[in-house]
């Protein structure tokens, strides 16, 4: 939707812009539904407020007044069968000093972190090991499994083994490239300076408001079919939809997941298709619950769950605490599914709902029956930013013809701000850099 809007602004009202999407509504993984009479985002529900892309886009569209900040409530970690505060003074859970994770890891691990500056560090500029490889070697496995991995799972539905350090913590990789003597120094160098204001932002009324406004401004023709093949033609491109129809285009933006991209372009951009094929993906499911108003929720924003724990969920968002209460209900979101499992594909809605209630009871003693609920599945929607991911992305882009561009969560970051940036870049490729504000 961002790419279509940018193209409309750049190309003017006479341009014909067609959007192919077989879904029941526009927006992809930005999906807002009514739960308990309140709009709730069932996909992405927040953005990093310090990144400029979403606030700038909201302002451009006249929606700046809809941006809201999180309340400041902090999340918890569930590991070793207990709830712990998320450590402070860390970079994505990676501690700058042992005191940050004391109580979360054992005394031997604390001693290992304290002794880390005295161990020789062998780092090659440009290296991109997995998070587990680097952090496990320097600080120990417990730091990985109890502090770092729950945060990565919440973002990518992956693990420390499947995510590269340059994607997960680019500022840390940059500090190591600059010659940090040890990992502790590199973390301290990479920690962002303290800042006022909330870390996360959202849109009052849900992301659906942004999607609707982008669609209105873009003035697209929405065709509710998928595209099966992209082929060259005398005019430029011939798109074959999944019902056998043919569509001509001068230029095309392919805002699809990497596995889908590889199939679409394998005959016209084989180099790009081969690179896209190497991007692995995970699936997840979201259960949104509206509990009776007044149901007691802890004063935290949610819980991130370490792998291997006796819970079904991987993360819980206490929406009413994170964003403030809405309506006459208490809102909670639970996320399920990790890289490598089939849970989101195979477990039925009734079981996911049952698991959600069991986990809320186990963690907080909440036994209230929901007044409403929604289950949303996101199949193959979570790209894994493995070691060397940036090289794969560069290969995808380098192999594309001039009038073919890509956008999506597998390119420059999985969050909404990064997706807005990738879409703006895609539109700029087709009509020139002046497309970006």
Considering the segment(s) 90-190 as one domain, its CATH architecture is: Orthogonal Bundle (1.10)
Give the number of other Cβ atoms within 10 Å of residue 41's Cβ.
Answer: 25
Residue 67 pLDDT exceeds 90: yes
Percent of the chain scoring above 90 in pLDDT: 92
Q: What is the mean pLDDT of residues 98-118?
A: 96
Give the number of other Cβ atoms within 10 Å of residue 5's Cβ.
Answer: 25
Q: What is the mean pLDDT of residues 107-113?
A: 97
Domain layout of the chain by residue ranges? 90-190
Distance separating alpha carbons of residues 123 and 308, to the nearest angstrom = 31
Residue 269 pLDDT exceeds 60: yes
Residues paired with 372 in a beta bridge? 290
- Asked if 109 and 143 touch (Cβ cutoff 8 Å), the reply is yes
Give the model confidence (pLDDT) of 6-19 as tens digits. 999 999 999 999 99
Angle between helices 2-11 and 416-431 (to 10 degrees): 30
Phi (first) and psi of residue 432, to 5 degrees: 110, 155
pLDDT of residue 198: 84
> What pTM was estimated for this model as a whole?
0.94
Q: What is the mean pLDDT of residues 233-257?
A: 95
Q: What is the mean pLDDT of residues 258-277?
A: 96
The phi-psi region of residue 198 (left if phi > 0; otherwise alpha if psi is between -120 and 50; otherwise beta) is beta
Angle between helices 270-277 and 389-398 (to 10 degrees): 160
Task: Choose among 186, 171, 156, 163: nearest CA to 314.
Answer: 156
Give the number of other Cβ atoms within 10 Å of residue 289's Cβ.
Answer: 28
Environment class of 321 (CB within 10 Å of its CB; exposed 0-12, middle 13-18, buried 19+) = buried
Distance separating alpha carbons of residues 247 and 222, to the nearest angstrom = 13
Q: How far is CA 103 from CA 111, 112, 149, 378, in A?
A: 13, 14, 17, 35
- Asked if 131 and 104 touch (Cβ cutoff 8 Å), the reply is no
Residue 437 pLDDT exceeds 90: no
Task: Choose among 172, 85, 103: nearest CA to 131.
Answer: 172
């Amino acid at each position: 939707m961002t790419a279509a809007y940018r193209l409309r602004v750049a190309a003017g009202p006479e341009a014909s812009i067609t959007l192919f999407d077989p879904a029941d509504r526009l927006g992809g993984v930005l999906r807002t539904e009514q739960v308990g009479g309140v709009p709730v985002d069932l996909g992405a529900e927040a953005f990093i407020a310090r990144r400029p892309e979403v606030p700038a886009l909201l302002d451009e569209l006249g929606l700046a007044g809809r941006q809201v900040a999180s309340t400041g409530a902090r999340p918890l970690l569930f590991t070793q069968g207990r709830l712990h505060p998320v450590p402070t003074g860390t970079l994505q859970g990676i501690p700058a000093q042992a005191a940050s994770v004391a109580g979360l890891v054992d005394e031997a691990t604390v001693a290992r972190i304290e002794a880390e500056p005295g161990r020789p560090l062998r780092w090659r500029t440009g290296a991109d090991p997995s998070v587990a490889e680097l952090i496990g070697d320097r600080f120990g496995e417990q730091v990985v499994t109890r502090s770092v991995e729950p945060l990565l799972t919440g973002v990518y539905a992956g693990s420390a083994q499947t995510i590269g350090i340059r994607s997960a913590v680019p500022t840390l990789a940059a500090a190591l490239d600059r010659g940090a003597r040890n990992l502790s120094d590199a973390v301290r160098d990479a920690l962002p300076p303290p800042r006022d204001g909330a870390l996360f932002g959202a849109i009052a009324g849900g992301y659906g408001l942004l999607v609707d406004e982008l669609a209105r401004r873009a003035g697209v023709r929405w065709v509710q079919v998928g595209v099966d093949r992209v082929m060259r033609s005398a005019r430029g491109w011939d798109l074959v939809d999944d019902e056998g129809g043919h569509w001509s285009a001068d230029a095309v933006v392919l805002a699809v997941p990497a596995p889908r991209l590889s199939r679409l372009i394998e005959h016209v951009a084989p180099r790009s298709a081969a690179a896209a094929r190497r991007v692995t993906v995970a699936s997840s499911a979201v259960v949104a619950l509206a509990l009776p108003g007044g149901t007691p929720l802890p004063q935290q924003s949610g819980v991130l769950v370490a792998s291997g724990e006796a819970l079904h969920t991987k993360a819980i968002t206490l929406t009413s605490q994170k964003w403030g209460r809405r309506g006459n209900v208490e809102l909670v979101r639970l996320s399920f599914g990790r890289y490598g499992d089939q849970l989101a594909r195979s477990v039925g809605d009734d079981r996911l709902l049952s698991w959600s209630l069991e986990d809320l009871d186990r963690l907080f003693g909440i036994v209230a029956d929901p007044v409403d609920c929604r289950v949303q599945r996101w199949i193959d929607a979570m790209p894994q930013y493995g070691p060397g991911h940036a090289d794969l992305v560069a290969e995808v882009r380098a192999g594309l013809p001039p009038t073919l561009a890509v956008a999506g969560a597998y390119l420059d970051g999985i969050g909404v701000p990064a997706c807005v940036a990738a879409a703006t870049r895609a539109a700029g490729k087709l009509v020139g850099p002046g497309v970006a504000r």
